[in-house]
Amino acid sequence: MSFAALQDHALSRVLALPPRAKDLQRDLRNALLQARDNDKLATSPQEVFQLVTLLPELPDNVAGQLRAGGLHANAYCIAGGEKNQERDRVRRHFKRNDGAWFDFTITVREHGGQLELLAYDFEIRFPSGAGTPFLRFDLNLPGHRNQDRDLRSHLHPGSDDVQVPTPLMTPIEVLALLIDGLRLPADRDKPRGLTAFEIGWFRDTHASLTRAEP
Amino acid sequence: MGRTTPGELALRLRALRGTAAYAAYLAELADIEATLADLEDELRAIAPSGAVTRLSPHSGQQLVADLGASAVEIVVVDARRFSPADWALLDRRRSALAHRGVVIFVTTPSSFSELMRHATNLASWLGDVFAVPHDDATVEARREQRLTALRRWANRSDDEIVDAARAGTLPADPAYAEWLVLLGHGELLGHGVT
Amino acid sequence: MRAKLDPAGDPAHAAPFYVDSPGAVSSRIAAELALAPASRHLLVGGVGSGKTTELLAIERRMSEIADVATLYIDVSKHHDIAKMMPGAIIAQVGLGLAEQLAGSGERSLLIQAARDVAYGAWELPELDEPDDSVYVPGILIPPEQVVENVQRAIEPLTALLKKVRAGIPHIAVMLDGLDRITDLQAFEQLVDHDVTKLSSLGIGVVLVGPLRALYGLDRVLVQRFDSFQYQPWLDVTKHRAGRSFLADVLAARAPEAFAPAAIDPLIAGSGGVLRDLLVIAQSALVEAYMDGASQVGEHEVDDAIATFGRKHLQGLRPAEIEVLQRVRTHGSFVQTSEDDLALLMTRRVLEYRSENQPRYAVHPSIERLLNELAK
């Protein structure tokens, strides 16, 4: 079955983005500071400033020359935290007040007074017992191979191999999900009890991991 | 002089709301206009609507008049043209400068030295005094940290990534998008969503 | 919390947090005014030493005496003190009394007369003169003749005094703002004309004057007053009373904001200068916010002192740095030039007094930076 129609639907939103990468960086940073002020984030304001970085395609002195010559030099990465593919707590990241922690990367291009959203990944990791070890929201690069399988906008629900289609979101919306959403409901003070199936699944998974260790 | 970005200074100044606070932010003359624009943008992004204004007085005397007429809480003063005589007058008229809110003087390091010499009373009021950061060493260090992490994760070299992108065989994962940008190959990214 | 520390705020708003400083000058001056209501007092002190706060404290103390009315006037608020001519202070006192009367509902021509003298007015010509109005400039715009202007200022004041004294026999004025005057001759003129005249009208005067009045030949000015009060820096390293006072100020204004371990470094870093204590304390609070700390600790105080020190060293010439190094290493300071005096005025060098003996030190916030420069 083709998921092309589903993907078209997921990507059909017109996003409200600020005009410049610097503006998006500032908006993300201010959302994090707001979360800090509301006690939803444990990361200090100083660290928020240090962790949200704008990385231009090239150093400013080189980029300036290229732009003056009409050549492209207008892609940016906005990084939130250190690059952390291994999910190592030692790498600098944002901490929620409930122990969850996250980081993100966004790739954009400035073009014609507008911002193009090219790709993003936002990954949040949860304390043990929270139901899943991590969630990652990905927006892949456009127009590549395996479009039928590789949904451009998707979620990894605790597995790098499993993908679930998600609607296209702005970086601010995904960040809001990570900060405010993805939490226990207000009327519950602990996670739901596990079913026998889940308990069995975790035990079997643990056993297979233990056997696989050298 | 300690250095801080406009964004961080804006946050510090916002933390002083509700007080009568005076600060200074220093930049070289060629950078003053951009610094003023950045600082204003940052302040407007985190302060309530209508709480920020910029004054560009041509003299100390005019600043006394303009500040007296302004009830806006956060005032950014373009003080790049202030001479020793302007600072001296502001020092004498310091009581007339009293403003319930935050006033930031944006000026050059040499003009600030004149403030310190000729406006000692005004200087005693100044809390935060910072200069604009002027090097990209931090950004470059972060670029390199991320490239190193990407190479380790994918077990591939920068050249292999660029070749794959050109051949149309690069995976679509966001990490590869970042990799290309950090290498200065944004032109290989295709078109995104607006 | 940050508002209560407010170093640049209106001292009148800080009244609820007032703490008596060791040997508070306000109590001495208030006591002397109570005994001699027309006496003249000169108050000097360095920038940020709390002079305005003491003037307002004198007002509060005097308010407890039934037959005395006080008036606080910052002469620099609506007038450039570099352009002050004799008569200007008298005109401002007249204006102050007029505004007080107007505030209580009085609608007298005397009030307008005081305003006209201060700000200028259009006068109608005599009937047999050409039919053109003549503008008479106010005192606060520099005129030519000293005596004439003093006399013009005295006239409405005398009449206003008669009106006020119908209810309250004694008046004392607290005159702030002249500490910033740089022309000592102009200051002398104001003292000789305005202060003397106010005193002759039976008005008590407490005048804040320039610190340079303390030094060299300028000391002769001091003798024109019945008392001279010096608001010193507090030697917090040598005297416990100074340290306790500043700790009490912090406790009154921001009782729970500072961790106990942060108090002493903060007080030491201020050099005993009250305003610098408040500036550094406020800055430390901002540092704590940026660090996400619930209280100011030693780390935040260190950062705030470092920021203050970097600012405090700006604008200094190599020769001045040399002088500071000598003060830092030997404690020796001999004021031989205007530049040396400027180092005192700007609080790079702090003078402490103990039994009238001076002790000199560099402001603690610049000590470490000076040490690094010397290496």
Q: Where are the domains of chain C?
A: 23-231, 240-312, 318-374
Q: Which chains touch B (3 or more CB pairs under 8 A)?
A: A, C
The predicted structure's pLDDT at residue C129: 47
CA distance A145 to A148: 8
SS3 content of chain A, % helix, strand, coil (to 5): 30, 25, 45
**% of chain C with per-residue pLDDT over 90:** 35
CA distance C339 to C360: 16
Give me the sign of the Cα torsion angle B42, B43, B46, B51: negative
Give me the sign of the Cα torsion angle C276, C282, C283, C287: positive
DSSP-assigned states of every residue in A98-149: TS-EEEEEEEEEEETTEEEEEEEEEEEE--TTSS-SEEEEEEPPSS-S-TTT
Do B180 and B150 share a structural domain?
yes
Burial A125-141 (b: 16+ CB within 10 A, else e): bbeeebeeebbbbbbbb
pLDDT single digits (tens) A90-118: 999 999 999 999 999 999 999 888 999 99
CB distance B189–A139 less than 8 Å? no
> Which pair of tokens denotes residue B18?
């509700």
The CATH number of whichever domain residue B52 belongs to comes to: 3.40.50.300
CB distance C289–A45 less than 8 Å? yes
Question: How many angstroms away from the CA of B21 is the closest CA of chain C?
Answer: 6
C347 to C43, C53, C245, C360, C366: CA distances (angstroms) = 18, 19, 20, 11, 11
Give this prediction's pTM: 0.84
Residue B56 lies in a domain: yes
Question: How many angstroms away from the CA of B60 is the closest CA of chain C?
Answer: 12
In this complex, is the C-beta atom of A152 within 8 Å of any C-beta atom belonging to chain B? Answer: yes
The predicted structure's pLDDT at residue C126: 46
Question: How many angstroms away from the CA of C278 is the closest CA of chain B?
Answer: 9
Number of domains in chain A: 1
Question: Can you give the length of chain A in residues?
Answer: 214
Do B184 and B92 share a structural domain?
no
Residue spans of chain A under pLDDT 50: 148-149
Residue B165 lies in a domain: yes
Residue B54 lies in a domain: yes
- N-to-C CA span, chain C: 40
CA distance C287 to C325: 29
Please report residues of A whose CB lies closer than 8 A to that of B184.
57-58, 62, 73
Domain boundary among B104, B131, B158: B131
CB distance C78–B96 less than 8 Å? yes
Which range of residues forms the domain containing residue A28?
Answer: 4-212
**Residue C326 φ then ψ, to 5°:** -65, -40
In this complex, is the C-beta atom of C290 within 8 Å of any C-beta atom belonging to chain A? Answer: yes
What topology is assigned to C240-312 in CATH? Helicase, Ruva Protein; domain 3 (1.10.8)
Residue B111 lies in a domain: yes
Do B52 and B142 share a structural domain?
no
**Residue C191 φ then ψ, to 5°:** -65, -50
pLDDT single digits (tens) A8-35: 888 888 899 999 999 999 999 999 999 9
- CA-based nearest residue in chain C for residue B4: C307
Number of domains in chain B: 2
Residue spans of chain C under pLDDT 70: 1-23, 106-107, 121-146, 215-219
Do B109 and B17 share a structural domain?
yes
Other C-beta atoms within 10 Å of C169: how many? 13
Residue B66 lies in a domain: yes
Beta bridge partners of A137: A122, A155
CB distance B175–A121 less than 8 Å? yes
Contact B102, B23 (CB under 8 A): yes
Provide the residue-wise pLDDT of chain B in tens; the chain has 194 residues.
888 999 999 999 988 887 888 999 999 999 999 999 999 999 999 888 888 999 999 999 999 999 988 889 999 999 999 999 999 999 988 888 888 889 999 999 999 999 998 898 899 989 889 999 876 677 888 899 999 999 999 999 999 999 999 998 888 899 999 999 999 998 888 765 55
CB distance C7–B11 less than 8 Å? no
Residues 35-54 of C with CB under 8 A from A: none
Which range of residues forms the domain containing residue B156?
Answer: 137-188
Residue of A118, A136, A137 to mutate for B, most B C-beta atoms under 10 A? A118
Plot region of B155 (φ>0 → left; ψ -120 to 50 → alpha; else → beta): left
Contact B132, B21 (CB under 8 A): no
Strands A75-80 and C134-137: unpaired
The predicted structure's pLDDT at residue A5: 80
- Superfamily name and number for C23-231: P-loop containing nucleotide triphosphate hydrolases (3.40.50.300)
- Which residues 6+ apart lie within 8 Å of C29 measured at CB? C41, C43, C54, C58, C206, C227, C229
Do B79 and B65 share a structural domain?
yes
Give me the sign of the Cα torsion angle B49, B55, B61, B66: negative
Chain B residues with CB within 8 Å of chain C CB: 1-2, 8, 11-12, 15-16, 18-22, 24, 88-89, 91-96, 98, 109, 112-117, 120-121, 123-130
The predicted structure's pLDDT at residue C219: 67
CA distance B19 to B1: 24
Mean pLDDT of chain A: 88
The predicted structure's pLDDT at residue B42: 93
Residue B193 lies in a domain: no
Do B168 and B79 share a structural domain?
no
Contact C258, C249 (CB under 8 A): no
Do B153 and B64 share a structural domain?
no
Residue B1 lies in a domain: no
